[in-house]
Amino acid sequence: MSFNYLIAINKETNWTSSDVVIKVRNILSKALGEKVKVGHMGTLDPLATGVLLLGVNKATRLFDYLLLKDKEYIGTLTFGSSTDTLDSMGKVEETSNLPKLIDLKAILPQFKGNITQVPPKYSAIKINGKKAYDLAREGKAVDIQPRQVNILDINLVEYTGTEDAVESVTLDVKCSSGTYIRSLFFDIATKLGVCGHMSMLNRVALANLKLENAITIDELIKNPTSHSISPIEVLKSLMDVYEVNDEEYYDLSRGVGIKLENNNEYLAMAKDNEVKFVAKNIDGVYKSVTNLE
């Protein structure tokens, strides 16, 4: 395999996604004896743990495809207080009583399907070129527009407290890309007429990668080059894979399109079971739009 590959890291709490990128880049650069480019495929908040997918070298060019894949989270919503960041790392702004379990179970189905949510003001969303959390920290007004997201499934895993006073609830959420679990939990608490904030979040799946496929930083340090994931293994969960012949490979590498009997918008073009290009269907002709060579 080339040095263009993916790594799934099981991120620890209190680490930013950028912290992980820097750490992995240093580990791999030292192990491979050359400067390595590393980028993450979708941010995890510092509080969150779980699957953080990284691209190495030219595999970072797959960001736009992998970022749009559905995700699954296990998270805990704690009732009784709300914070400015919508999670337990923020400043408490309001307190309330606790909800009843029967009411919680009744409203959860309302959050399944296409819903509208407002992302947190403490988020990496850019407003006029500046990140929202920077504006919020400066005390400036943050106007974030609502967005449509898809909650594919949401299930109650466990709760603490009593049926008449639920202190916290752990939920299993399968959702589209772009979903803010902090906002989802805040909206659930609001619907119940109480305060609430996210106190735990673990991303357990991204694309076809599960938490058991992810490694810790310590495991990577021990075996820096033995945890690579071929891009083809993840891309095949997003699009069809087409094995090119020598002539097609030559054409694609020169920017010449190839005509195929296929209606898919994108195809992963592989040679010898290794993705070389991602090609887009333009009037029946597939042209390379992402080159991993």
d(CA 76, CA 67): 24
Instruction: In whole angstroms, give the CA distance from residue 185 to residue 104.
Output: 12
Helix (H) or strand (E) holding 32: helix 17-32
Task: Assign 168 to helix, strand or coil.
Answer: strand
- For residue 167, report the phi and psi dihedrals to the nearest 5 degrees: -80, -40
Catalytic machinery residues? 45
Of 183, 161, 181, which Cα lies nearest the Cα of 171? 181
Q: Phi and psi at residue 67, in whole multiples of 5°?
A: -65, -30
- Enter the tokens of residue 262: 């296929």
Q: How far apart are CA 257 and CA 65, in angstroms?
A: 20
Question: Whose structure tokens read 């920290």?
Answer: 137
At a CB cut-off of 8 Å and minimum separation 6, what does 78 contact?
Answer: 88, 167, 168, 196, 197, 198, 199
